[in-house]
Amino acid sequence: MKSLSLPTASKSTLTTPGRVTMCVRDLMRHFSAQLPPKSNYVRQARQFLEDCLIKNVPIDEISFKLYVGGKKPHQVSPIRKFILFYQTIGQPTVIPNPPGSTLSDAVDELIDWFLNDATGLRGEYSRRTYQQALNTFFTFMEAQKRAGQHAQLTASFVETYVNYQKNKANNLSPYTINLHLSAIKQLTAWCVRRRDRLELTQTQVNDLRDIEAIKGLAVTHTYHKESLSADQREQLLTGVKSARDLAILYLLSYEGLRTIEVCRLRFKDLDFDRQQLHVLGKGKNDTEPIKFFEACQQIIKAYLQANDWWPIRDQKMNEYLFENATPPKGPLKTNQIRYIVDKTLRGHGLKKKGYSAHSLRHTVAQLLIEANIPLEYVQEHLRHKKIETTQVYTRKKTKQVYFEIMPD
């Protein structure tokens, strides 16, 4: 590798005239995008890069050999892979992260490592949500430190942060605050599991464990989306010309699937013989069977026949039921399904404030309740973890008929 020409400065900047300039954080995030989940390569590469910046030396074979001297093979491989990546992207100019504009390097590294290692976060959306929540928390922590306040990752400080969130002028909901708290608790639990790698003292471990005991805010479950009546549902499903779109609408409005669950459906999840639909829910690793209603079966079969996929051949079993027609190949995205629903709602004059793709899941729940299906069966069909979530729909029905039923 060519050596980079370096200016003489007390604070290192690895520069070469005419090249793209990137700060450490951006470079590491580009490197991270090339790696598989749970990889520890970013942490090792960042330490090497920071060492080059501190010593004001180029990122080349000489600095590599000096840095890895005496290190174990598993510590050397990440650096070698990073240098290859650095060469591939054209050896950009490397500068330190802008001061005061973002989190400290140590915190940023900790969050990146946690997110790479986290097995419970399914999908890029969940990872971004947790990253934003943790960034907000640590930004608050660093602001407290600058103000001369005691700010450490302890239970008392996390409780201070929760109270701060409760009292913010933008009136955050208990749900949002609990989401932030959940991200912090999962991070601290991960730190405890990685205490040897992080070289934590027993006092630090005890402080982190105390955070697990913090209780979230009480959340009153309410229905956030409107639902259609039985007649409106039938109206929605009338005149849909696309067999694919109709199949998607039936899965949403009869089976009550979430948009992400429709995206994840594979051919093997359709069990016509036992009348079961196997659904991979949000945050789940295994599918759960639900009743495959006859009306939905007929529409799905029509969709398969229209594409010459019926009967289903063995080689298609692992393929997604709904795939992109154009590259890149893969399952439909949730935004594509939301577009189909919104377009159909507008076409029937049903698109109003509060009506969305998720309204169709609420529709299924509400119509099952109104058909006097026992609550525990509705919970099973919607795959709610808590019966309280399902009871939301009974409260909605109660509010609707209260004035009619209540005696004078």
Least confident of 25-34, 214-223, 261-270, 327-336: 214-223
Residue 98 has pLDDT above 60, yes or no: yes
> In this predicted model, what pLDDT tens digit does every residue of 113-136 receive, in sequence order?
788 777 666 556 677 788 888 888
**Given the residues 258, 264, 362, 381, the one annotated as active site:** 258
Choice between 49 and 106, residue whose per-residue pLDDT is larger:
49
Predicted pLDDT at 258: 94
**Given the residues 348, 358, 383, 396, the one annotated as active site:** 358
Predicted pLDDT at 407: 76
**Given the residues 282, 316, 338, 383, the one annotated as active site:** 282
Q: What is the percentage of the chain residues whose pLDDT exceeds 70? A: 86
Q: Which of 77-81, 93-97, 302-306 has maximum average pLDDT?
A: 302-306
Residue 5 has pLDDT above 70, yes or no: no
Active site residue 209: no
> In this predicted model, what pLDDT tens digit does every residue of 225-283 receive, in sequence order?
578 999 999 999 999 999 999 999 999 999 999 999 999 999 999 999 999 999 998 76
Active site residue 384: yes
Token pair for residue 144? 């407290």
Predicted pLDDT at 136: 86
Confidence of residue 104 (pLDDT cuts 50, 70, 90): low
Choice between 177 and 96, residue whose per-residue pLDDT is larger:
177
Averaged pLDDT for residues 95-117:
70
Active site residue 150: no
Are the beta carbons of 156 and 121 closer than 8 angstroms? no
Choice between 55 and 397, residue whose per-residue pLDDT is larger:
55
Active site residue 30: no
Confidence of residue 3 (pLDDT cuts 50, 70, 90): very low
Confidence of residue 297 (pLDDT cuts 50, 70, 90): very high
Domain ranges of the chain: 21-99, 106-211, 230-405
Residue 33 has pLDDT above 60, yes or no: yes
> In this predicted model, what pLDDT tens digit does every residue of 300-349 receive, in sequence order?
999 999 999 999 999 999 999 999 877 767 889 898 999 999 999 999 99
111: nearest Cα among 193, 191, 218, 26: 191
CA atoms within 13 A on the CB side of 245: 16
Confidence of residue 9 (pLDDT cuts 50, 70, 90): very low
| Domain 106-211 -> CATH class | mainly alpha
Active site residue 361: yes
Q: Are strands 288-291 and 270-271 parallel, antiparallel or unpaired?
A: unpaired
Architecture per CATH, domain 230-405, reads as Orthogonal Bundle (1.10)
pTM for this model (two decimals) = 0.55
Predicted pLDDT at 68: 87
Averaged pLDDT for residues 7-26:
56
> In this predicted model, what pLDDT tens digit does every residue of 152-211 receive, in sequence order?
889 999 999 998 888 865 567 787 888 899 999 999 999 999 888 888 889 989 999 999
Active site residue 393: yes
Which position has the token pair 């609420």? 362
225: nearest Cα among 379, 353, 402, 389: 353
Residue 358 has pLDDT above 80, yes or no: yes
Are the beta carbons of 43 and 79 closer than 8 angstroms? no
Predicted pLDDT at 63: 87
Residue 10 has pLDDT above 50, yes or no: no
Check the CA dihedral 220-226-231-236 and report its sign. negative
Predicted pLDDT at 2: 33
Determine the angle formed by the axes of helices 105-117 and 24-32, rounding to 10 degrees: 10
**Given the residues 264, 361, 362, 381, the one annotated as active site:** 361
